[in-house]
Amino acid sequence: MEHRLEAPPVMTSSGPIRSPHQDLWDTVLSQLDDVAQRLNLDPDIHKILRRPERELTVSIPVVMDDGHIEVFTGYRVQHSSARGPCKGGIRYHPEVNLNEVRALAALMTWKCAVVGIPYGGAKGGVQCDPSQMSPDELCRLTRRFTAAIMPILGPRRDIPAPDVNTNPQVMAWIADTVSMLEGKAVMEIVTGKPIPLGGSLGRREATGRGVAIVTSELLKRQNRRLADTTVAVQGYGNVGSFAATILHQMGCKIVAVSDISGGLYNPAGLDIPDINRHVANHPQHLLEGYQAPGVDHITNDELLVSDVDVLIPAALEHQIRADNAPHIRARMIVEGANGPTTREADQILQERGTIVVPDILANAGGVVVSYFEWVQDLQYFFWDEAEVNRNLETIMRRAFAEVWDFCQEHRVPLRLGAYMLAVSRVAEAVRSRGIFP
């Protein structure tokens, strides 16, 4: 079985073409540099925050089902432990590389800081194509990867979670591997586990629920009634579907939704419970084939420029770009996905007066409930779903209020304000702890 390997850089007369992951890491660094300048950050602390604390690259030999051995490359990057143990997902994808993992680890540091939970940021990944691998091959890959990075993991050191192409089953394999090697149950080594192994109730819905809570807080500050608000949601996976469902329950009118198969639009409002039943019964869990009176079929591009009050991009990164940003009619954007808006588009939206709630705040509900899962595991005391949701709402509402007030005081957009607040909190932790030895 062949597996996709990272290609060498393409050369031009002016040198190598930069990969998008290099650009992502450079973007993260340039954002930090901009924020550091605005905060008048201590140059020594700035230097510390520009570098991950620890980077581990591992080779992962795996016996494939046909008997041959494939060697994969895996990464775990810990950006900062200044505010607590490192936290971040593990992704399986052919395009995974060190720069991508570095960037995502740093973003996790800011995300945890902006919502005020006691974690630093980490990220991990394996360069592989899981769609071309059997469950047994994925199990062996996961267990060998876990053994390779285990020296830097720990429930008070670094706690992984699911990310792209990983799920509760992968987390169960990680927890079991660590438990077998240590000779004791260490279920708190990961979050996003199956419920019977110490997973938290409400975790699956948490990111979408957080997006909905943040949206309602934004509308409150715009003096808008939920019932008078129209919403479009791009991406109807785990995040988008729960955000749409919960906002619908709150009273918002969801007029457009979309996924990879296309979109649905009804200016009078979509029947979200009926759409959810269709998706649940679809073989690939898609919107494809849904029909209802008054519902038109639209493209993802058409959804992004639809005439709505709130746009929630909850699909892939870089969906809002310089070419379509001038045509976006939504007055408010709440980023359910990671990095859905390019820097050029963000500048265009800012100049047009569009309010953008950044991803590090808007979609932080997932890591907040991961934190709850970790706390429950450490205490061996579990909460009911109502308590999880109540505590999530408290943290998300408080975090939004802190960012909003900070931005009003400093007269900066929400994205910049969220980063300034996050970086200042991490910097204060570094300053307070001092430099060892």
Spatial separation of the C-alpha atoms in residues 40 and 270, rounded to whole Å: 48
| DSSP string for residues in 357-373 | E-HHHHTTHHHHHHHHH
Q: Please report where in the chains the tokens 């702890």 appear, as a residue.
A: 433
Q: Exposed (0-12), middle (13-18) or buried (19+): which is 227, by Cβ within 10 Å?
A: exposed
Would the pLDDT of 338 be above 50? yes
Q: What is the pLDDT of residue 13?
A: 33
Q: What is the pLDDT of residue 342?
A: 87
**Predicted confidence (pLDDT) per residue in 123-169, tens digit:** 999 999 999 999 999 999 999 999 999 999 999 999 999 988 899 99
Spatial separation of the C-alpha atoms in residues 239 and 371, rounded to whole Å: 18
For the chain, list the domains and their CATH numbers: 51-197 (3.40.50.10860), 204-362 (3.40.50.720)
| DSSP string for residues in 294-347 | TPEEE-HHHHHTSS-SEEEE-SSSS-B-TTTGGG---SEEE--SSS-B-HHHHH
Would the pLDDT of 15 be above 90? no
The encoded tokens of residue 10 equal 């393409």
Nearest to 360 by CA among 399, 410, 304: 399
**Predicted confidence (pLDDT) per residue in 401-434, tens digit:** 999 999 999 999 999 999 999 999 999 999 999 9
| DSSP string for residues in 117-134 | -S-EEEEEEEE--GGGS-
Spatial separation of the C-alpha atoms in residues 9 and 3, rounded to whole Å: 18
Task: Note the residue count of the chain.
Answer: 437
**Predicted confidence (pLDDT) per residue in 354-409, tens digit:** 999 999 999 999 999 999 999 999 999 999 999 999 999 999 999 999 999 999 99
Helices (H), 40-97: 43-49
The sign one gets for the Cα dihedral 144, 147, 149, 155 is: positive
Nearest to 170 by CA among 156, 160, 157, 184: 160
Q: Catalytic residues, which ones?
A: 123
Would the pLDDT of 58 be above 60? yes
Would the pLDDT of 315 be above 70? yes
**Predicted confidence (pLDDT) per residue in 254-266, tens digit:** 999 999 999 999 9
Q: How distant, in Å, are the alpha carbons of 202, 207, 231, 247 from that of 389? A: 7, 11, 23, 15
**61: phi then psi, degrees, rounded to nearest 5:** -75, 130
Nearest to 166 by CA among 238, 108, 234: 238
Pairing type for strands 158-162 and 11-12 reads unpaired
Chain Cα centroid distance, residue 311: 18
Strands (E) across 94-229 are located at 120-127, 158-162
Spatial separation of the C-alpha atoms in residues 421 and 189, rounded to whole Å: 29
CB hemisphere CA count around 44 (13 angstroms): 5
Q: Which residues contact 47 (CB under 8 A, 6 or more apart)?
A: none
| DSSP string for residues in 174-188 | HHHHHHHHHTS--GG
Q: What is the pLDDT of residue 6?
A: 36
- Per-residue pLDDT band at 8 (split at 50, 70, 90): very low
Q: What is the pLDDT of residue 7?
A: 32
Q: Which residues contact 316 (CB under 8 A, 6 or more apart)?
A: 235, 337, 340
